[in-house]
Amino acid sequence: MDETAYFRGIPKAELHLHLDGSVRPRTVFEVAKQTGVPLPVQDAASLTDFLEATDRTASLVEYITFFELPIAIMQTVPALERVTYELCEDLAKDNVRYAEIRYGPWLHVQHGLSLTDVIRAVLSGWGRGKRDFGLEGGIIVTALRDMPPAQNMALAQVAGRFVDEGVIGFDLAGDEAGHPPILHEDAFRIARSLGLNITIHAGEAAGAESVRQAISMGAVRLGHGVRAQEDQEVIAMIKESSVQLDMAPTSNAQTKAVRRLEEHPLRRFYQQGIKVTISTDSRTVSQTTLANEYEKSARLIGCSVDEIWAMNLQALDGGFADQVTRARLRHEFASAEAALRRSS
């Protein structure tokens, strides 16, 4: 079987996907021109130097800088609706059928929008994209590590009002150094009480203790979790708690959570019985697609086609959308994959 064709052809599920890291360069250029956002260059093609990380990116802190320009143009309702809708289109082209898109509403209030305005705008773009491109899934609202805890508590309260409108989870992201998850424990207690599912970025730039804290705060899924490998007690905790690790190999190499892709623990974790899934993290910043990530996981990390397919199904099983939808998709995924194998 041609692995490239297989990975492109199978229906896919993606759980760890940042909206502001997945904006089309052309859209950044056009919206900046429309809204007066200063650009570092005067043509769209040259913008990639400011939007895309590389293997030379030194750390998570540097990786985050590539989000600054997209965030600057995502300050109006039309811009937020547009980038969300376009991401849905890009997902469909990648044959992603189930997706959870995450973003930090506090980053988009710089020009007068309220948190409610921001959440409604993204849900509007998601609703149109979901309908037009046949997607399922939902939106994850992300709190920021370097924000005062009170602001993240307020965000949880607002996000909880949209539980029945497409907001399905609550997250914590940003530079891990000096910002342990436990500082925001109250926000996550509120989020859980309002019916939001909990996922937290942990074990990316900070070590295994970050993972331990995130699990203690009720996270059923962790963004990345790579550095859990540094502590076997934490690995045992992940397995015993049945916590899922949503990993993004290219991004993990660019942020230096791993030194190089070949050293990524994805396959080792899978073989240890840990629930793992594969995502892009940020399609523009990491210059990737989910099919690309699957191919790298096979070619560079050593995962078999069957292992990657199992991780894809795990993404459906661990998704935050309703169980009926995910069960239906699992049946559709299995039928489509079987047909693809028969035709190869």
pLDDT in tens, 68-84: 999 999 999 999 999 99
Separation between Cα atoms, residue 226 and residue 307, nearest integer Å: 18
Sketch the domain layout of the chain as residue ranges.
3-343
Q: 204 an active-site residue?
A: yes
Residue 45 pLDDT = 87
First to last CA, the chain: 6
**pLDDT tens digit string along 273-310?**
999 999 999 999 999 999 999 999 999 999 999 999 99
Find all residues with CB under 8 Å of 160, minimum gap 6, and list them.
Answer: 190, 191, 193, 194, 195, 196
Separation between Cα atoms, residue 264 and residue 336, nearest integer Å: 29
**pLDDT tens digit string along 53-64?**
999 999 999 999
Separation between Cα atoms, residue 32 and residue 38, nearest integer Å: 7
Find all residues with CB under 8 Å of 74, minimum gap 6, and list them.
Answer: 19, 20, 23, 80, 83, 107, 108
∠244-181-157 over CA atoms, to 5°? 90
| Contact in structure between 138 and 100 (CB atoms under 8 Å) | yes
Task: Please check the confidence at residue 182 and state whether its pLDDT lies above 90.
Answer: yes
Separation between Cα atoms, residue 128 and residue 106, nearest integer Å: 23
Separation between Cα atoms, residue 309 and residue 322, nearest integer Å: 21
Across 112-136, average pLDDT: 98
- Residues 118/121/122/127 CA torsion (nearest 10 deg): 150
Find all residues with CB under 8 Å of 100, minimum gap 6, and list them.
Answer: 14, 15, 16, 17, 137, 138, 139, 140, 168, 169, 319, 320, 321
Task: Please check the confidence at residue 1 and state whether its pLDDT lies above 80.
Answer: no
Across 259-271, average pLDDT: 97
Task: Please check the confidence at residue 177 and state whether its pLDDT lies above 80.
Answer: no
Strand, coil or helix: what is 20?
coil
Residue 44 pLDDT = 86
Q: How many CB atoms are located within 10 Å of the residue 259 CB?
A: 9
Residue-averaged pLDDT of the chain? 96
Phi, psi of 327 (to 5 degrees): -65, -40
**pLDDT tens digit string along 14-46?**
999 999 999 999 999 999 999 999 999 988 889
| CA atoms lying within 13 Å on the CB side of residue 264 | 31
Is the model's pTM score more than 0.85? Answer: yes
**pLDDT tens digit string along 308-332?**
999 999 999 999 999 999 999 999 9
Task: Please check the confidence at residue 175 and state whether its pLDDT lies above 90.
Answer: no
Across 265-276, average pLDDT: 98
Measured between alpha carbons, how far is residue 89 from residues 28, 99, 102, 290, 295 in Å?
A: 16, 12, 16, 14, 21
Residue 30 pLDDT = 97
**Out of 3.40.50.261, 3.40.190.10, 3.10.105.10, 3.20.20.140, which CATH number does the structure's domain 3-343 have?**
3.20.20.140
- Order across the sheet with 96-103: list the strands: 12-18, 96-103, 136-144, 167-173, 197-202, 221-224, 244-247, 275-278
Listed in sequence order, the DSSP H helices in the chain are: 3-9, 25-35, 48-51, 60-65, 68-73, 77-93, 115-133, 149-160, 185-193, 208-216, 232-241, 249-254, 266-271, 290-299, 305-317, 323-343
Separation between Cα atoms, residue 312 and residue 266, nearest integer Å: 13
Strand, coil or helix: what is 106?
helix
Task: Please check the confidence at residue 344 and state whether its pLDDT lies above 80.
Answer: no
| Contact in structure between 189 and 179 (CB atoms under 8 Å) | no
Of 158, 76, 157, 155, which Cα lies nearest the Cα of 110?
76
Residue 179 pLDDT = 87
**204, 293, 295, 307: which one is catalytic?**
204
Measured between alpha carbons, how far is residue 192 from residues 140, 166, 175 in Å?
A: 13, 16, 23
